[in-house]
Amino acid sequence: MRYTEYHDGVAVIKDKSLLPGAMEKLAKIEDMTEIPQICCDEYCKYPGRCRSQDETDQICDRCKLAELFDLLLSSDEEN
């Protein structure tokens, strides 16, 4: 379920009665700080194929999960 919508480019709660569910979902997402390490270390197919750290870094920069990982890690760093 999506709890938010955008008004003039700003995310807002669709309905104030949905706020408790939205807060619970946000808390669960913020608790997922270990997900980037698990995905990269256990599921990424590239580390074994790359010959150098630079090559690995280039692949990581293009990873479609990078934006999600940045969000998860930035919420952890703020606390």
Which residue would you say has higher pLDDT here, 76 or 71? Answer: 71
Contacts of 29 by beta carbon, 8 Å cutoff, 6+ apart = 72, 75
User: Is pLDDT of 40 > 60?
Assistant: yes
**Cα 47 versus chain centre, distance:** 20
Confidence of residue 35 (pLDDT cuts 50, 70, 90): confident
Residues 41, 65: contact at Cβ < 8 Å? Answer: no
Q: State the amino acid at position 26 in one-letter form.
A: L
3-class secondary-structure state, position 70 = helix
